[in-house]
Amino acid sequence: MKKLWEKGFNTVKSVEDFTVSNDRILDKKLAPYDVLGSIAHARMLENIGIITPDELEQMEKALAEILKDILADNFYIEDDVEDVHSQVEIMLTRKLGEVGKKLHTGRSRNDQVLVDLKLFTREALKNTVHLSHQLFKTLIQLSNTHKDVLMPGYTHMQVAMPSSFGLWFGAFAESLVDDVQLLLAAYRISDQNPLGSAAGYGSSFPINRSLTTQLLGFNNLQVNVAYAQISRSKNERTIAYALASLANTLSRLSMDVCLFSGQNFRFFSLPDEFTTGSSIMPHKKNPDAFEMMRARCNKLMSLPNEISLVTTNLPSGYNRDYQVTKESFMTAFDEINECLSMANILMENLQVNPEIIKNEMYDSIFSVEEVNKLVLEGIPFRNAYKMVAQTIADKTYKPKKDLHHTHEGSIGNLCNNMIVQKMDAVLYQFNFMKSDVALKTLMGDI
């Protein structure tokens, strides 16, 4: 196996296979970011006089060719090559000879993988935020459409008080606001440049880390080189917490739909083509997509704990243990993004039952309204409560279904515009344009 650290001896193949595992497969996803980090690093090396302008021009042209192959899906990591960093450097050296060997000056694979993961994460988070916003807009639209359609509300899984489909949809929309707020916090913690920290102890070369921070569009520099290395687990764990919060919202939404679409409730239904059937029960229409979403999101909620268990007691400096969290961390974005996309499709096709509140089994939920009316007539609340409770016990209670909920966030005054404003305020703070412009400039005409 070709290694950047080759020193004239061969590692036992079983050890190589065990330590590399499927890292080469994951590294293909990091390939474009490895090249972009290399372009920024090369420009910095020219800026401090380590390479000449002519050498930089050669490097940039060759790296651009490699990036084009990656974007065209014509890139692969050779069987005997250890990782993406090795593959890119080998390809560069094949193209440029001795000039290609100069690229690794002043950096380590340790800070290479850090910057690759940071750039990968930044793009992945952007996609997650975009999909979260799409689902948010769908939920808000559904909330506004069904704002006056009543449904039963439950506590302790017992019929409790009047709710509305508008209130239910809006609740999950506002939950997404908090999830995106957590994604913003994770994004800010991650959006710091580790390049130049080398193996975690800096370099005797006068490298310009502020320049690579600017070139790569990072919001800030991860200043302390030792912290840049040990921050990896914190970055991954913080992002995992944000993804887990989002997964929790989707899981609870899925559970509600699975429960409330059953024949015992009939609050929701899905078109036949969005359900599956049974091999022996002709009547079955199963909400399998929601069940799978619930399961996959519940699994995602274990990710912060998994990362913590692997990394909590690691000593300072780089440790190979980080490779174990890499797969779970990187694939989590595909998982949550697929769930968000499916949730949006399903919610766009979810049908509500506008007649459900007319079922007499829900008459008791209007008892609180009767208590409140008596209070407004001057009867103390506790006395009014007992009076209505007695009519229920005597079976003389007759519901009056005219509701007067007017306060902010209630079924009669959803204030969805306030929820939209909250989401817009969070989204504005991401400032994705800064990183997009920086990377587009770095790529040039590619």
Picking from 167, 166, 188, the residue whose alpha carbon sits closest to that of residue 239 is 188
What was the pLDDT predicted at 361?
A: 92
Angstrom distance (rounded) from CA 23 to CA 323? 8
Angstrom distance (rounded) from CA 28 to CA 34? 10
Domain 13-102: which topology?
Answer: Fumarase C; Chain B, domain 1 (1.10.275)
Which residue carries 């988070």 as its tokens?
125
Annotated catalytic residue 156:
yes
Q: Name the band, by pLDDT with cuts 50, 70 and 90, for residue 82.
A: confident
Query: Is the model's pLDDT at 5 over the cut of 50?
Result: no
What was the pLDDT predicted at 190?
A: 95
Query: Is the model's pLDDT at 1 over the cut of 60?
Result: no
**pLDDT, tens only, 41-54:** 999 999 999 999 99
Angstrom distance (rounded) from CA 100 to CA 402? 78
What was the pLDDT predicted at 181?
A: 98
**pLDDT, tens only, 313-331:** 888 888 888 888 999 999 9
Q: Name the band, by pLDDT with cuts 50, 70 and 90, for residue 194.
A: very high
Q: Which of 156, 204, 279, 283 is catalytic?
A: 156
Query: Is the model's pLDDT at 425 over the cut of 90?
Result: yes
The beta strands (E) that lie in 124-269 are given as 150-155, 158-164, 192-193, 220-221, 268-269
Q: Which of 210, 278, 316, 404 is catalytic?
A: 278
Lowest mean pLDDT among 155-159, 281-285, 296-300, 405-409: 281-285
CATH superfamily of 115-194+229-358+415-431: Fumarase/aspartase (Central domain) (1.20.200.10)
Angstrom distance (rounded) from CA 246 to CA 175? 8
Q: Name the band, by pLDDT with cuts 50, 70 and 90, for residue 16.
A: low
Length of the chain: 446
Query: CATH 1.20.200.10 in the chain, residues?
Result: 115-194+229-358+415-431
Query: CATH 1.10.275.10 in the chain, residues?
Result: 13-102
Give the mean pLDDT of the chain.
92
Angstrom distance (rounded) from CA 185 to CA 112? 24
Query: Is the model's pLDDT at 24 over the cut of 80?
Result: no
What was the pLDDT predicted at 119?
A: 97
Cα dihedral sign, 182-183-186-187:
negative
Angstrom distance (rounded) from CA 289 to CA 254? 9
Angstrom distance (rounded) from CA 12 to CA 14? 6
**pLDDT, tens only, 220-260:** 999 999 999 999 999 999 999 999 999 999 999 999 999 99
